[in-house]
Amino acid sequence: MIDLTTEIQRLKQDRNAVILAHNYQLDEVQRVADYVGDSLYLSKVAANSKQDVIVFCGVRFMAETAKILSPTKTVLLPEKDAGCPLAEMITAEGLRTLKSKHPGVPVVCYINSSAEVKAESDICCTSANAVKIVASLSDRKVIFVPDENLGDYVAKQIPEKELILWKGHCVTHAKVKAEDVKQVRELYPAAKILIHPECNPAVVKLADFVGSTSEIIRYAEESEESTFVIGTEMGVVCTLRETLPNKQFFLLHPGLVCPNMKKTRLESVYQALHNHQYEIDVEQEHILSAQRTLERMLEVV
């Protein structure tokens, strides 16, 4: 039997590849990655990487983002069906129809969107920088797609802006209900409850801290507290338990497991490098506009 980790390291050298893994990936995948983080951090790493091949352990829109920022490199997505239902809740055509109803209003798209939707938008954002990006625009009215919950959170932070929201949501974060937060509060009264802004507004309202995956990780690292309830995908809990063994972490809801993120296993990373699969291609007509949308974001943050 071959040792997958050893083989992955060998193939990585042979292929001149770098392995990137999102915070939501399985532990076994995070352990073989050169870089682990959120999509903003990984997009920057991809753009600056010296290797010819990027193996992106995440979901399709993330690998597409890496390809848009590094069009001359080969980007591989180890599981070809690892998609994002939230990103699939909006099409470029749907966005064009919305834009036609609000002529001249700028469009901010969440990074969880297809290359075509990015190409139709003015500026991109992640959950770590969404408030900053919307605040950076001089217009009062802003179209925000496709995550309604993140848009609602942003709107509450910048009440002077009027956000026109698309009705998309993350099916994993949407499983959490306000009742779940009230129950964990009773169960762990001393714990800090850290929640992702993709959760619905009634849940977000009950949080001690609201932030993206990287912000939640930073909060737990820097906090003097020792017990935390994590309201985002389970991969973040696994990372925190490993990196902060003297603190205690509980998952807010057992359903906080993204089935698409969990498709990638160690075997998939090995097959990706061995068989050079699955290569991400972004249509030439979308690359330049989507690149401009992402680069505008990178200029602000």
Name the site residues for ligand CIZ (rule: CB under 6 A).
Answer: 22-23, 38-40, 111-112, 126-127, 196, 212-214
- The number of C-alpha atoms within 13 Å of 48 and in the hemisphere containing its C-beta is 7
**CB 25 → ligand CIZ: shortest distance, Å?**
11
**CB 112 → ligand CIZ: shortest distance, Å?**
6
Q: Which is nearer to ligand CIZ, 42 or 107 (CB)?
A: 42
Q: Which is nearer to ligand CIZ, 5 or 209 (CB)?
A: 209
Q: How far is CA 212 from CA 77, 120, 206, in A?
A: 23, 25, 16
Q: Which is nearer to ligand CIZ, 116 or 198 (CB)?
A: 198
Q: Which is nearer to ligand CIZ, 15 or 121 (CB)?
A: 121
Whether 185 and 193 have beta carbons less than 8 Å apart is answered as yes
Helices 60-69 and 284-300 cross at an angle (nearest 10°) of 90
Q: How far is it, in rounded angstroms, from Cα 201 to Cα 31?
A: 34
**CB 178 → ligand CIZ: shortest distance, Å?**
21
Q: Which is nearer to ligand CIZ, 21 or 184 (CB)?
A: 21
Whether 193 and 229 have beta carbons less than 8 Å apart is answered as yes
**CB 145 → ligand CIZ: shortest distance, Å?**
15
**CB 214 → ligand CIZ: shortest distance, Å?**
6
| Helix residue ranges per DSSP H, the chain | 4-15, 27-32, 39-48, 60-69, 92-101, 115-120, 130-136, 148-157, 178-187, 201-204, 213-222, 234-243, 266-275, 284-300
**CB 42 → ligand CIZ: shortest distance, Å?**
7
CA 223 to chain centre: 23
Q: Which is nearer to ligand CIZ, 20 or 155 (CB)?
A: 20
Q: Which is nearer to ligand CIZ, 11 or 23 (CB)?
A: 23
**CB 271 → ligand CIZ: shortest distance, Å?**
24
Q: How far is it, in rounded angstroms, from Cα 122 to Cα 32?
A: 36
Which residues make Cβ contacts (< 8 Å) with residue 2, sequence separation at least 6? none
Q: Measuring CA to CA, which residue among 271, 220, 210 is closest to residue 242? A: 220
Whether 225 and 237 have beta carbons less than 8 Å apart is answered as no
